[in-house]
Amino acid sequence: MARDDVKTGYKYVGTRPNRPDGLDKVTGRARYGADFSLPGMLHAAVVRSPHAHARIVKIDASKALALEGVKAVVTRADMPTGLEGEDLNLQDNTLAGDRALYDGHAVAAVAATSALLAQDAARLIEVTYEVLPHVTDVDAAMAPGAPVIRPGVADYSVPEGMHGNVARYMKFGHGDVEAGFAAADVVREHTYKTEATHQGYIEPHAAVGQMGEDGRGEMWVCTQGHWYIRRMSAAVLGIEAANLRVTPSEIGGGFGGKTTIFMEPLTLALSKKAGGRPVKLVMSRSEVLRATGPTASASMDVKIGMKKDGTITAGQIFFRMQGGAFPGMSPIGEALPCAFACYDIPALKHEAVEVIANRPKAAAYRAPGSPMAAFAVESMVDELCRELNLDPIEVRLKNGARNGSKSSYGPVYTMIGLQETLEAAKAHPNYKVKLGPNQGRGVASGFWFNHGGETSVSLAVGEDGTATVMIGTPDIGGSRASIGLMVAETLGIPYEDVRVNVVETGALGVNEPTHGSRATFASGKAAVEAANQAIKEMCKRAAAEWEIDAEAVEWKDGAAHPAGPNAGKFPPMTIGEIGSKMGGTGGPISGHHEVTAGGYGASFGTHVVDVEVDPETGRTTVLRYLVVQDAGTAIHPAYVEGQYQGGAAQGIGWALNEEYVYGADGRLQNPVFLDYRIPVASDLPMIDTVIVEVPNPGHPYGVRGVGETGITPPLPAIASAIAGATGARIRSLPCSPPKVLAAIKAKR
C-alpha cells in the first residue's frame, strides 16, 4: 500500500529491534514517579472534600501540627493571589479556595516524616463545610432549576438566554442543511450519550519536590510534559519558571491525563514550608479516580439525511459536554471538528455548549472529543445503513473523505488514508466470517487531527562515532526506539549506536508534552534535522582534512565520501574517525533543531468488530476485532500495532464497561478498579491489525502520529455490532449487561 514515489528500502526504519528501555522495564530497574527518593525526604498526604459542592468555612490544622513528625500543612491561604484565567483554574484545582467544587477536591496538604504519619495527620485536619446544592449530570446541569455552580462563568461566546451553567458556545458549518435533508430519502434524528471515563493509567500520579526559601526548586515527576509541569507549577506558586527544574521519570501511562498538574505544586509548597526538605506525594487509586483525569461526559443530538443509494445529503450535531467544575476543560473544540471529519458531506451544521458540573476538572484523554463524536455520528450512519440495507463499508467508501476533499472543519485534506483503510478492512478475512446466532458485526471509522507542536532536540556525536540524542518528549510507548531508528537511518550507523535520552527542563528549549500523537512525529522530525546538521559539520571536517570543498563531500553509510570530481580520491572517513579527532578539528560535533512542527498529517482508521450477546444476561463478548489505520510510515511496526491494540482496548472498555457513577449525593460511587472496571485479559480476544502506509509528505520518513485514532471507532462499532446481534440499539454508553438486557426485552 506504500506509494511508489516515496523512498522505501530503508535499512532501519520499518524494523522491529528491542527497545532501549526494555531491559530496565522487565527487570524492575526502570524508575517511575514513586520510585524516586532523596535523603531527608518527607511524605505528604492530601485532605479532600467529601462533598460535591460546599463552602469551606474553616480549616483547623492544629491537631495535625501537634503530632510529632508533622512538618508542614498548606492550604489555599499559603498560595499567591491575583491569578487569572487558566492559571487561576489550575490553582483552584490544586487547592480549593472558598468552595470545594467536586467530591475529591483537594482542600489541604500535610507533610510528615512517613507516609503513614502523613495520612494520620491528614485525618486530624478539621474542615468545616457548608454543603451547597450540586449537579453532576450534563443534561441535568442545563435543566431549568439546576443550581448555577459558578455564576458568571460564561465567556463571550455564549448567547443570551442560555442556562447559567453554560460556559462556552461554538457553532460552524457549511452548505444548506435544510435543502440537504429535503433531498434525502431517509432523515433520522436521535440523542446519544457517553459517560465520563478515566484514562486509567496504572501508575498513580507521583512527584518529589524540593524548594528552598529562595523560591528555587526541583521536581522529579511522572508526566507527559515536564515543561508544562514547570510552567503550571510556577504559575500556581508565583515563582519564575527558570527557578524550577523538572526531571521526568519513566511514566506508567498517561493517555493525556498526565499533561497537566494536579497535586505536583503541593510538594514544592510543603517543601518550602518544611525548611526545604524534599517532599514526596503519591496519589492513591481512589484519589486518581476522584480528582484527576477524567474525560468529559457528553449528550449529543445528531440528524443525518441519506439517499437510498447511501449518499449522505446533510448532517447536523448538537453537543452538550461537561468537563467538570472548571470552564474550558471539555473538548468541544475538538469534538465538533472530529464529528464529520471522516466524510465529505455537502451540508453540515455543528453546534456545541460546554456545561459546568460538580465533577473533577477534565483532562485530555486520547483523541479528546473524537470518541464521543464518533459514537453519535458513526452510530447514526450505521442505523441508516441497516434501515436501508446498505453495506457500512460501501457507504463510507462512497461518502468518505479523500485526497483533495475539503474537511468538515475547513482545511483541504492532502495525502490521507481513509479510503485505503476502508478498502483494507473490506478485503480482510474478518469481514467475511459468517456470523452465528446472537452475533453481530459493527464497522466504524475514526479520525484524529494529529499534532506537531513546540519541539526542541539536540544530538551529539561521540568520540567513538556513536550518537546521543536529547529529546524533551517523555517516552510512553516506545518512541525512544522509533526516534533511534530514524537517527540511525539518517546517520547511517547501527541502531545500537544511537542512544536517545529524555532530558530535563534545563537541558533543552521548551517542549510540549507527549500529546496529540506528536512525539515520534515531531521529536523524530527534529532529531532527523539535528542529525542532518551534524552530518553537514562532519562533511566539513572531512573536506578540511582532504583540502576540498565541503560541497564536494557526501554522506552515506555512516561516513563522509569525496564526491563529484573528487570521487574515489580519498577513502571514506567514518563517523568514528571524525568523532575520534573532533577535538583537534574544530571541537565537539553536535546538531540541534527546534521548531513548532507543522505538516503532521491527519490520521484515519477503520475498525471491524464481531460480538456475541448472551440473550439471557445481556453480556457482550467480543469475538474478533480488527484495527486498520494509516501510520504514514511505521517506523517500528510492533509499537504501531501496540498503539492500535491499546487504543482499541480502551475504546472497548468505554463501550462496554467503564463509566463514572455518581450517587444522588454527588459523590463518585466507583473510585476503585474493582468497580471502575477496565478491560482485563480475559475480556478481550487477540486484536488484529493492518498497518496502512500512506506516507505523510510533512515528515522526512513519512510518519504520521498513530496514538489516538484507535480509541475512536470502538464506541460506535461495538454498539452497532450489538444492534446487529440483538436488533436493539444502545444510544447511551456503556453497553452494560443490564442496559443491553433491558433493550433486548423492550424489543421482544
Q: Nearest 5 degrees, angle CA 293-CA 335-CA 631?
A: 85
Q: Please, which residue, 168 or 636, has the CB nearer to other proteins? A: 636
Chain residues that interact with other proteins, rule: CB under 8 A: 16, 18-19, 21-23, 25-32, 34-35, 114-116, 199-204, 250-255, 282, 284-285, 476-478, 636, 638-639, 641-642, 645-646, 648-650, 672-674, 678-684, 686-687
Tell me the Cα Rg of the chain.
27
Residue 715 C-beta: closest distance to other proteins, Å: 15
Q: Please, which residue, 1 or 116, has the CB nearer to other proteins? A: 116
Residue 424 C-beta: closest distance to other proteins, Å: 18
Residue 707 C-beta: closest distance to other proteins, Å: 10
Indicate the burial class of 364 (C-beta count within 10 angstroms; 0-12, 13-18, 19 or more). Answer: buried
Q: Please, which residue, 337 or 513, has the CB nearer to other proteins? A: 513
Q: Please, which residue, 414 or 670, has the CB nearer to other proteins? A: 670
Q: Please, which residue, 413 or 644, has the CB nearer to other proteins? A: 644
Residue 341 C-beta: closest distance to other proteins, Å: 24
C-alpha cell recorded at residue 495: 541502531
Name which of 217, 251, 270 is nearest 44 in CA terms.
270
Residue 673 C-beta: closest distance to other proteins, Å: 4
Residue 29 C-beta: closest distance to other proteins, Å: 7
Residue 644 C-beta: closest distance to other proteins, Å: 8
Place of cell 515527576: 221
Residue 256 C-beta: closest distance to other proteins, Å: 12
Q: Please, which residue, 448 or 639, has the CB nearer to other proteins? A: 639
Instruction: Give the number of other CB atoms < 10 A from CB of residue 98.
Output: 9
Q: How far apart are CA 480 and CA 643, in angstroms?
A: 15
Residue 25 C-beta: closest distance to other proteins, Å: 3
Residue 126 C-beta: closest distance to other proteins, Å: 22
Q: CA 692 → CA 418, 655, 709, distances in Å? A: 9, 25, 13
Q: Please, which residue, 254 or 579, has the CB nearer to other proteins? A: 254
Q: How far apart are CA 400 and CA 343, in angstroms?
A: 4
User: Mapping DSSP to helix (H, G, I), strand (E, B) and coil, where does residue 443 land?
Assistant: strand
Q: How far apart are CA 19 and CA 11, in angstroms?
A: 17
**Cβ-count burial 149-182 (b if 16+ within 10 Å, e if not):** bbeebbeeebeeeebbbbbbbbeebeeebeebbe
Q: Please, which residue, 681 or 746, has the CB nearer to other proteins? A: 681
Q: How far apart are CA 270 and CA 265, in angstroms?
A: 9
Q: Please, which residue, 143 or 672, has the CB nearer to other proteins? A: 672
Q: Please, which residue, 66 or 182, has the CB nearer to other proteins? A: 66
DSSP 543-583: HHHHTS-GGGEEEETTEEEE-GGGTTSS--EEHHHHHHTHH
Residue 225, C-beta contacts closer than 8 angstroms, at least 6 positions apart: 258, 259, 473, 474, 511, 512, 513, 514, 515
C-alpha cell recorded at residue 33: 514517579
Residue 206 C-beta: closest distance to other proteins, Å: 9
Which backbone phi and psi does 198 adopt, to 5 degrees? -105, 150
Instruction: Give the number of other CB atoms < 10 A from CB of residue 623.
Output: 19
70 residue type, one letter? V
Q: Please, which residue, 412 or 681, has the CB nearer to other proteins? A: 681
Residue 288 C-beta: closest distance to other proteins, Å: 9
Q: Please, which residue, 133 or 685, has the CB nearer to other proteins? A: 685
Asked whether the beta carbons of 180 and 314 are under 8 A apart, the reply is yes
Name which of 258, 250, 377 is nearest 319 in CA terms.
377
